[in-house]
Chain A
Amino acid sequence: MIEIRGVTKRYGALTALDNLSLTIGPGEVFGFIGPNGAGKSTTMKILAGLLQPDSGTATVCGHSVATEAPAIRRVLGYMPDFLGVYDDLTVDEYLQFFASAFRIERGRRRAVVSSVLELTDLTDKRHAMVDSLSRGMQQRLGVARVLIHEPKVLLLDEPASGLDPRARIELRELLLELKRMGKCIMVSSHILTELAEMSTSIGIIEKGRLLFAGSIADAFARAGAGERIAVALEPGSADGAAAAERLRADARVAGVTLEPPGPDGAPGGLIVELTPGVHGHHFLIESLMAGGARIASFTPRPIKLEDAFLRLTKGQLN
């Protein structure tokens, strides 16, 4: 659905995108991750036909962004990082405005507006003035606007930015619904846990260069992030440092971090990171008990996308 080949974009002396290549298939939800100024928004603006690349090619549904902008607009919905609204229109008029702008026939507009309002749970705000809506509702209105012409591809730039937790959850549910509808979605966000929940693949970009693109599992593998287990030792147990040394000698263990002793004299715990690809935990318990450690608790900690992101972006381009 989306194909970017060797795209470079410069703003004066600043290279916003540096030979970026990327492919996103149908039905894929692509999480675009990167620090501020990495080039995420520029990539989306190029795909939306708002900016022209200095070099390289980009296509959406087979249409070139350089030469077939009108064709792309029919199949693509773009929501910028900050949603501007016409403060003199009601929600209904705002959506009708864009329905008309997308050449939806007058007779069909009412039904289309009703359906997107229902999907975004804004039906009871139909006649509210747009600027009287809360930020969360305005974001949902932005999604409704993007869906008005039933695009195959959605570009959502930081849709959860500035939203409170409830609004974020509502927006996430909405995006999951769109995912179920089979839309190809490219979404950028700083809230990586949410991206991990809804994305089928991710791309990590820094300083205009794509550091990684692929599935989340591949990202963890590429980042060298294995499963982590938190082990708490009982008071009076064997020395944690000795247990750590014992574990480090095992090839299945990538690393062990010692946690400081508690204020009540309880021994410090261990954070054990397994070698990527190792999933069994029984050898850990056996090894610790063999060394005289008494285990108070044994808690596998899920791997976070943040960890993979930090590892993949850490100093690579500096």
Chain B
Amino acid sequence: MSTRGDQLEAPSTGPLAAGDGTERAAGARAGLASTVAAWLAGPVFQKEARVMGRRKSTYLARSMLALALIGVAALAFWAVADETAHYRGVAKVQAFQRLAPGLAAAIAWTMFVVATVAAPVLTGGAICDERRSRSLAALATTPLRPGQIVLGKLASRLVQLVILVLLTAPLMLSLRAFGGLESSYVLGATCLTLSSGLLAASLGLAASNRAARPINAASFGVTVMILYNLWPAGGMLVQYWVTGRPPSTEWLTFGPGMCLAMLSAGSMPGMTFDPATFWIKICAISVALSAVVCIAASVRLGVMIRRDAAEEPSLTRPAKRKRTAAATASPEHATADPARADSDGGVSAVSREVGDQPVLWREMRQAAFRSGLRLAIGLAAVVGMMLLVYANAGLREPGVTTVFAVIGAVVLMFGAATASVGSITGEAESRTWQVLNTTLLTPAEILGGKIAGALRRLWVVPALLLGHCVLAVLAGAVSAAFIPLLALILVGPVVFLCTTGVALSLRLRRTSAAGVANMLIASGLWAMLPMAIGIAGEVTRAGRDSFAGRIMQAALILNPVYMTGSAANGLGRSSWGGSRSRFELVWQNVGPETFTICVVFATGVYLAASFAVFHLCLRRYGQWSALKTV
């Protein structure tokens, strides 16, 4: 099979050139088909598809997703059937008609989020795994062009994504049998999910070119997709700030998430576009952006291949560490130029003195961001946005602190779920794990150091949250008690997620698998559990004082995002000025003492669970570690 992209060139002589226009057109079509096949379904695609096809986890994930969605749908229908048992005729049909759109929207949103998060995870290792396993150079010596490599890898992973998304289409279409659900909604939601997934996958692949580890590329892809989904809201805010008039709803059509929300909500007052077809534009934009990202990724890959061919390839990025003489541990190590080239042109730096807990010492010095410039740009963007909100809504506005705290809690949980998942798999991938395990370090020292390092790398979001809270307290928008309460709410879940991340990193072979599993734990605890509680509440009609009701309350107390919002509302200016603060918990408002007890209880539960997971890791250390040694 030819892998060159030159099949499009029409022969200037020969039968085709001498033939009529129809033959020429047929020849050109055949050439185009073979070119597309060579680029999309070439050897890279076939190899990747075979590798993925061999993994049991591929089929397990698909089966679990399908079963979970069917289970949720079945539970919801059971709940409605139970609730409407005494209804008759039309009333019963109407109850089901009300359920179908809501359930379809829930499924569509679930798939949208799954596709946006799973796509970069699937493509994050595409190139950097090749680089780490030193197979990129071998691939570069074949006639394959960088574009073919990129497209082959993208196509093979998109197949997995398309299968996942299309698994839900029959389920959503079957809901139409109950009425109240348009087929155009199913089509629109599926197209939005697929185009969004395509863009997310392209971003993950492009980031994989430079990333040291797959999880870094996946995190980049997810972050950009979050910004892509949120930027219309920012645009509306800026327009409102500049013009002082309500912003145009047209903004909403520039973000896939917003589009899906509007598609789910149906027509809105003031809409200036066709509610049935507006999603086509954002799908086209996402696909066009994917094409641009793929072209950029191909160009970048070509540059990397040429650069690696010209010089000794490095498995990792060049060392960029620079340190001041002040960081030098002893005068013996001090040099006039802290970052200098050695006699052979290699990169040198001032050596520091290693502490008595070497793993902890190294982890505490790992950078949270790859470069200071990136950190500065990221901080400037976030602080700028916060200042914009302060200027627009005012710092004393009670909702501002609630929104910032909730967004901060969500981002912090996302960070905690991904910060530690590469801690052990990263060591195994860079072949340092075996050596570390032949030292006198105990498993507790190694794992404890990894958890501490992951916690330290999460400093940015808490620092921003603290900064906002201090300003809000000074402005009188929120009580000073909110700061320690917020810290107490967040510390337990963060420690828990970092511990489970290390545990999964120890147990699983791949960082991406550990990342997905830890995200599932987080989403299971804080998204699926409340959903299940809601459905169970409907089914059992459990009162707040019943045993089942107490269990449900306890489960929601464990949700840090819910508790953060509740604490911000409870200690906001409108709530605490003079009178006793009231905190909203499920089914009731409680006082500060009860709320604090609930927070302490939840923190205790998380810390106890973290300890249990840590203890399990220590017990299974030899067995799980051996899996990475074979």
Contacts and interface: CB of A to CB of B under 8 A. Distances in A.
Interface of A: 11, 45, 48-52, 70, 73-74, 76-80, 82-93, 96-103, 106, 109-110, 124-129, 131-134, 145
Contacts of A80: 431, 434-435
Contact of A96 (B312, B347, B354, B626): B354
Given A50-B625, A99-B354, A103-B440, 6 more contacts: A51-B630, A52-B626, A90-B348, A92-B333, A124-B342, A124-B343
A93 B348 CA distance: 12
A152 B319 CA distance: 35
B437 interface: yes
A83 B321 CA distance: 22
B440 A102 contact: yes
B349 interface: yes
5 contacts: A76-B438, A82-B431, A84-B431, A97-B362, A98-B358
Contacts of B358: 96-98, 100-101
B578 interface: no
Contacts of B362: 86, 88-89, 97
Q: Secondary structure at chain A's binding surface: helix, strand, loop or mixed?
A: mixed
A127 B439 contact: no
B346 interface: yes
B438 A50 contact: yes
Interface in B389-441: 427, 430-441
A128 B626 contact: no
Interface residues on B, range: 35 or more
B137 to A, nearest CB: 14
B319 A125 contact: no
Contacts of A109: 354
A222 B198 CA distance: 64
B178 interface: no
A97 B434 contact: no
B15 interface: no
A98 to B, nearest CB: 6
B438 A78 contact: yes
A70 to B, nearest CB: 6
Q: Nearest 8 A-B pairs (CB), nearest first?
A: A84-B431, A101-B439, A129-B319, A132-B346, A92-B351, A84-B432, A96-B354, A100-B358
B316 A93 contact: no
B315 to A, nearest CB: 8
B626 A102 contact: no
B431 A128 contact: no
B274 interface: no
Contacts of B143: none
Nearest to A124: B343
A52 B627 CA distance: 11
Q: Report which residue of A52, A76, A92 has the largest number of chain B beta carbons within 10 angstroms of its beta carbon.
A: A92
A85 B432 contact: yes
B434 to A, nearest CB: 5
A84 B438 contact: no
A45 B430 CA distance: 17
A107 to B, nearest CB: 11
A281 B315 CA distance: 55
Interface of B: 312, 314-319, 321, 330, 332-333, 335, 342-343, 346-359, 361-362, 365-366, 427, 430-441, 622, 625-626, 629-630
Q: Report which residue of A102, A125, A127, A133 has the largest number of chain B beta carbons within 10 angstroms of its beta carbon.
A: A127
Nearest to B445: A101
A102 B437 CA distance: 11
Nearest to A74: B440
Contact of A125 (B321, B346, B349, B352): B346
Contacts of A132: 318-319, 342, 346-348
Contacts of A127: 333, 335, 342, 348-351
Nearest to B436: A101
A124 B340 CA distance: 13
Nearest to A82: B431
B440 A126 contact: no
B277 to A, nearest CB: 51
A41 to B, nearest CB: 10
B351 A126 contact: yes
B352 A93 contact: yes
Given A92-B333, A131-B314, A131-B316, A101 B346 contact: no
A88 B333 CA distance: 17
Q: Report which residue of A82, A97, A133, A145 has the largest number of chain B beta carbons within 10 angstroms of its beta carbon.
A: A97
Given A84-B431, A87-B316, A101-B358, A129 B349 contact: yes
A145 to B, nearest CB: 7
Nearest to B630: A11
A106 B431 CA distance: 27
Contacts of A131: 314-316, 318-319
A80 B433 CA distance: 10
A48 B353 CA distance: 28
Given A48-B438, A50-B629, A78-B438, A129 B347 contact: yes
B626 A50 contact: yes
B346 A133 contact: yes
Contacts of A97: 354, 358, 361-362
B365 to A, nearest CB: 8
B439 A73 contact: yes
A78 B347 contact: no
Q: Report which residue of B332, B343, B347, B434 has the largest number of chain A beta carbons within 10 angstroms of its beta carbon.
A: B434
B355 A100 contact: yes
A75 to B, nearest CB: 11
A76 B321 CA distance: 33
Contacts of A50: 434, 437-438, 625-626, 629
A49 B319 CA distance: 33
B5 to A, nearest CB: 35
Given A45-B629, A97-B358, A131-B319, A145 B342 contact: no
A285 to B, nearest CB: 54
A141 B267 CA distance: 68
Nearest to B367: A88
A106 B357 CA distance: 11
A97 B357 CA distance: 9
Q: Report which residue of A52, A80, A102, A128 has the largest number of chain B beta carbons within 10 angstroms of its beta carbon.
A: A128
Given A50-B434, A50-B438, A88 B366 contact: yes
A96 B358 CA distance: 8
B430 A129 contact: no
Contacts of A93: 351-352, 354
B313 to A, nearest CB: 11
A84 B425 CA distance: 13
A134 B342 CA distance: 13
Contact of A87 (B312, B319, B357): B319
Contacts of B352: 93
A76 B437 CA distance: 12
Contacts of B431: 80, 82-84
Contacts of B629: 45, 50-51
B239 to A, nearest CB: 45
Given A127-B351, A129-B346, A129-B348, A101 B432 contact: no
Contacts of B366: 88
A131 B431 CA distance: 13
B361 A100 contact: yes
Contacts of B430: 84-87
Given A129-B348, A131-B314, A132-B346, A70 B321 contact: no
Q: Report which residue of B357, B362, B366 has the largest number of chain A beta carbons within 10 angstroms of its beta carbon.
A: B362
A63 B78 CA distance: 63
A48 B332 CA distance: 35
Given A88-B319, A93-B351, A78 B435 contact: yes
Nearest to A76: B438
A128 B434 CA distance: 24
Contacts of B342: 124-125, 127-128, 132
B354 to A, nearest CB: 4
